[in-house]
Amino acid sequence: MRRRNFLCLAVCVALLGLAATNIRPVAAAEPTEVIHWWTSGGESAALKVLVQAFTADGGIWVDSPVATGDAAKTVARTRLFGGEPPQAMMWQPGRQLLAMAGEGVLADLTPVAVAGNWDGVLPPLLQAAIKLDGKYYAVPTDIHGLNWLWASKAVFDKIGAPVPTTWEAFNQLAPKIKAAGYIPLALGGQAWQETLLFFDVALGVGGEDYYRRAFVQQDQAALDSDTLVAIFSQFKKLKEWVDPASQGRDWNLTANLIMSDKAALFIMGDWAKGEFVNAGKVPGKDYICQLAPGTADTYLFSADVWAMPRGKQGNTLSDGQKLLAEVMMKPALQEKLSLVKGSIPPRSDVPTDKFDACAQVAIHQVTRNQDHMLPAADVALPSAVVQAITDTATQFFNSDTTPAMGATQLRKAIEQAAD
């Protein structure tokens, strides 16, 4: 009798174990290689959150980091069109992503999106930037704002002045900052950083409507106006206030100039806050965050998204790709990831009570009125036009070209690139 009861108990335990196994997420059947550019301190912390969540659900993550976004995209595209794609690759939403989707090299994520109700939780502007013909082709893990200003609280306490909210105010304050022994404007002398600064100046000087017409719609009348000359004029003035060691400096090392109280201001996307978080810095105590001069009513947004290339299985997602897409869209994952990266979650149903004052500004900007969100250049424009603007802006910033000539060169470069 005891033997029979023992056998029954053993069978029951085995069945319970089998049932428990059956309700766990399906493990990836094969390793999942992921190409990305999250290599700085704050980015690495965010990547760790993602990898841990994926492996906890049974995935096998194969890490393929590349130091910069442009380089990572080049590697991914080479692999993609060379017939040896990774299972997932980091990208940005918008024209370039959707062009690849149109070429038929990306897997359709719509079945995962429908099951997860992505239409119900993602902002419409972000949806439009990752959907083609009603189908999803990327998974968003965060939303970033590009028009942010980061300031050293210690420096501004020392000089006894408020952080400028207009470029005119900065122009007046910069000599005082330099006279006090600080760098007025921290900038990494790399093409993409100088171009990001150019776009923030364009938004701050031209305003939301002008920016939309000139750098989203490529309206010729806007590009022909005196406003573009004024933008180049302000952009040129900033060169005087950048330190001589800026050339070639990475953005995260430039952020350190704020954390070490060597520089007063830094214009950079909110991924910079991930470096502050990683260093244990606290907003309001160690640094000040606010939207870039002249841009307080507008949010210039982008996002980190992950595309899944089509493999040998055709348009059917592999187990690893499906699992990765599902994990990336979990509310708890997006909350934890954004808390360490400086971003905000793309899902509207993620709790926001743990986010700091900087993030609350971003959340307010994204949720209050979609009409005041503007897509960043990489989201709104074809890659050829973005490259034309980058080349023109950086050449102008590092030469003696006049603002009027810079505006003329930009108009011609955009026109040629758009042909």
Q: For position 309, which CATH number holds?
A: 3.40.190.10
Amino acid letter, 176:
K
Q: Are residues 160 and 140 in the same domain?
A: no
Which distant-in-sequence residues (6+ apart) come within 8 Å of 137 by Cβ?
97, 98, 100, 101, 106, 107, 108, 109, 130, 131, 307
Q: How far is CA 358 from CA 207, 274, 283, 361, 373, in A?
A: 22, 11, 7, 5, 17
Q: Is residue 23 part of a domain?
A: no
Q: Are residues 249 and 391 in the same domain?
A: yes
Q: Which two tokens stand for residue 352?
A: 């926001």
pTM of the model: 0.89
Q: Is residue 21 part of a domain?
A: no
Would you say residue 66 has pLDDT above 80?
yes
- State the Cα–Cα distance between residues 93 and 105, nearest whole angstrom: 16
Q: Are residues 397 and 329 in the same domain?
A: no
Q: Are residues 277 and 343 in the same domain?
A: no
Would you say residue 7 has pLDDT above 50?
no
Q: Are residues 292 and 156 in the same domain?
A: yes
Which distant-in-sequence residues (6+ apart) come within 8 Å of 236 by Cβ?
396, 397, 403, 406
Q: Is residue 2 part of a domain?
A: no
- Could you report the per-residue pLDDT of 106-133, keeping only the tens digit for each? 999 999 999 999 999 999 999 999 999 9
Confidence (pLDDT) at 16: 40
- Could you report the per-residue pLDDT of 277-320, keeping only the tens digit for each? 999 999 999 999 999 999 998 999 999 999 999 976 667 899 99
- State the Cα–Cα distance between residues 326 and 318, nearest whole angstrom: 12
Number of domains in the chain: 2
Please tell me the least confidently modeled range out of 240-249, 256-265, 307-316: 307-316
Q: Is residue 273 part of a domain?
A: yes
Q: Are residues 249 and 163 in the same domain?
A: yes
Amino acid letter, 172:
Q
Q: Is residue 22 part of a domain?
A: no
- State the Cα–Cα distance between residues 230 and 236, nearest whole angstrom: 10
Q: State whether residue 34 is helix, strand or coil.
A: strand
Nearest to 229 by CA among 36, 404, 32, 53: 404
Q: Which residue, 328, 353, 369, sits at the end of a domain?
A: 369
In this structure, are residues 370 and 299 in contact, taking their beta carbons and an 8 Å threshold? no
Half-sphere exposure of 410 (CA within 13 A, CB side): 34
In this structure, are residues 273 and 358 in contact, taking their beta carbons and an 8 Å threshold? yes
Q: Are residues 250 and 375 in the same domain?
A: yes
Q: Are residues 45 and 129 in the same domain?
A: yes
Q: Which two tokens stand for residue 240?
A: 């005087």
- State the Cα–Cα distance between residues 413 and 419, nearest whole angstrom: 10
Q: Which two tokens stand for residue 154?
A: 């210690």
In this structure, are residues 247 and 112 in contact, taking their beta carbons and an 8 Å threshold? no
Q: Is residue 235 part of a domain?
A: yes
Q: Are residues 61 and 106 in the same domain?
A: yes
Q: Are residues 323 and 274 in the same domain?
A: no
Would you say residue 402 has pLDDT above 90?
yes
Q: Is residue 16 part of a domain?
A: no
> Model confidence at 369, in pLDDT bands (50, 70, 90)?
low
Alpha helices in 135-225 (DSSP H): 153-159, 167-179, 191-215, 220-223
Q: Is residue 1 part of a domain?
A: no
Q: Are residues 362 and 252 in the same domain?
A: no
Scored b (16 or more CB within 10 A) or e, 109-138 reads beebbeebebeebbbebbbebbbbeeebbb
In this structure, are residues 349 and 123 in contact, taking their beta carbons and an 8 Å threshold? no
Q: Which domain holds residue 131?
A: 29-144+302-369
Please tell me the least confidently modeled range out of 80-84, 148-152, 234-238: 80-84
- Name the DSSP class of 284: T
Q: Are residues 162 and 258 in the same domain?
A: yes
